[in-house]
Structure 1
Amino acid sequence: MSAASPDAAGTRICVVGDDLVAGLGDARGMGWVGRVAARTQSETPLAFFALAVPGETSTSLSGRWETECNRRFGAGENRLVVAPGSADLQHGVSLARSRLNLANVLDDAANRQIPTFVVGPPPRADVSESALGDLSGAFADVCQRRRVTYVETFEPLRTHEQWLSDTSAGDGTHPQQAGYGLLAWLVLHNGWHEWLGLPQE
């Protein structure tokens, strides 16, 4: 990851989401965001800002992203990565409201000409598998309608042996190093470089 000074005319990438954005449970402290940043090579400066709120619902995310990102965005190119977690299922947020919350974020960003990229919620043991699958599908549909890249993490990891063993070895819901590596791999191989206009590794 290239460091960018406050006045550098590079690209600033804000990543908003729950505790997975912060890399909770990763002994290396990188999470998937740090791993993606480390594998993203660019001739112009790239600055990543991980803006995580543990247990955040899509309602909370939609209400805070703009204010928090505005503090980090600069005069160069600004981009937004949205990584909604599964907290909507634990806080009784309806599927329709979850869809609307994400749609509002994407539409507001589009109105400001801020390119967006969405990373869906991965499987976890403390929520209904079918409900989480429905939530991920709803987020995917919102993105498809707006031609925004959506990285599906639930289905590829739902029965992935390494993901399941990695999360169960920790606190049961958060991955460790191997799990975050899997999330980073999915991001890097599902439109990340194309979204940034960079050659594929």
Structure 2
Amino acid sequence: MKICFFGDSFTNGTGDEACLGWAGRVCLAGRSAGKDITYYNMGVRGDTSADILARWQQEANRRLPKGEKCGLVFSFGTNDCAAGEDGRARLPQTDRLKNARAVLVAAPKVWPTLMVGPVPVINDETANKRIADLSRQMGALAKAHKVPYLEVFDAIRDNQPWQEECSKGDGTHPGSAGYALIADMVAAWPAWQDWMAA
């Protein structure tokens, strides 16, 4: 199975000493269980949903052959809600939802698609309120378009290892233990398990 993971620095695994992030870890677990996975991490540091919407189709087309077993995993939104230079969110709420809807409509028409919700940040409760709202709204959009959605914000927000690792690192990204937390959540997700069982 060939899988493209599209997202931002949290999808990329920025800050992970092992350079795996959660996507690399969940694919490693799949390979260890005997699944033949080709893994493409398309996470780009700083990307918003607008950036991902603009690039995902061309990048996926280059990596996922038609007629073969392939899949897409999206995870974005934290950068949409983070404060820009003017203190406002980098993208307005209407754009966040419009971009998410565009991905959720187009992607499943081409390949099986999963979506992992946005992660929290530390020391910015205004951004976290926006992220929490976006996560709920994206979950509703995904349900409406029959795309499996994994909400991770609530489980991670108050997780002490996540908080500590982000504080010790660059103030935004966790280390290996933080990414392992997300990988464990994805690995236990029935939608991912269905992919691994197929």
Query: TM range, normalised to the smaller chain?
Result: 0.7 to 0.9
Contact in 1 for aligned 2:77/2:131 (Cα 8 Å) = no
Partner of 1:103: 101
Match runs of 1:6-45 below 5 Å: 11-41=1-31, 45=36
Q: Supply the AA of the counterpart residue of 1:115.
A: P
Rounded to whole Å, the distance in 1 between the matches of 2:43 and 2:196 is 26
Corresponding position of 1:67:
58
Q: Which residues in structure 2 correspond to 1:15-164 (within 5 Å)?
A: 15-41=5-31, 45-75=36-66, 76-90=68-82, 91-112=89-110, 114-125=111-122, 127=124, 128-164=127-163
SS in 2 for 1:40: helix
**Cα deviation, residue 116, structure 1:** 0.5
CA distances 1:82-115 after superposition (whole Å, capped 9, x unpaired): 0114111235312222122111112112222x11
CA distance in 1, matches of 2:96, 2:47: 12
Measure how far apart 1:126 and its partner are: 5.5
**Which TM-score applies when normalising by structure 2?**
0.88
In structure 2, the CA distance between the partners of 1:30 and 1:197, relative to structure 1 (3 Å rule), is closer
Q: Which amino acid aligns with 2:81?
A: L
> How far apart, in 1, do the equivalents of 2:123 and 2:53 lie?
24
**More displaced stretch, 184-193 vs 155-164:** 184-193
Question: Please, which runs of 5 or more residues in structure 2 have no aligned partner?
Answer: 83-88
Which structure dedicates a bigger proportion of its chain to helix? 2
Judged with a 3 Å threshold, the aligned counterparts in structure 2 of structure 1 residues 44 and 164 are, in CA distance, closer, same or farther, namely closer
TM-score by length of 1: 0.87
> Hey, what's the Cα distance between the residues in 2 that align with 1:78 and 1:124?
31
Please name the residue that 1:165 is paired with. Answer: 164
Note closer, same or farther for the CA distance 1:126–1:97 as it changes in structure 2 (3 Å cut): farther
Distance 1:31 1:43, change over 3 A: closer
- Measured in 1, the distance between the counterparts of 2:138 and 2:19 equals 27
Give unpaired runs (5+ residues) of structure 1: 1-10
Could you tell me how far 1:44 is from its partner in structure 2? 5.7
1:191 CA displacement: 2.3
SS at match of 2:100: helix
- Residues 17 and 53 in structure 1, CA contact (< 8 A), matched pair in contact too: yes
> In 2, are the aligned partners of 1:59 and 1:101 still within 8 Å (CA)?
yes
* Amino acid across the alignment from 1:68: E
Runs of 4+ that moved beyond 3 A = 41-44, 192-195
Over the matched positions of the two proteins, sequence identity in percent amounts to 31
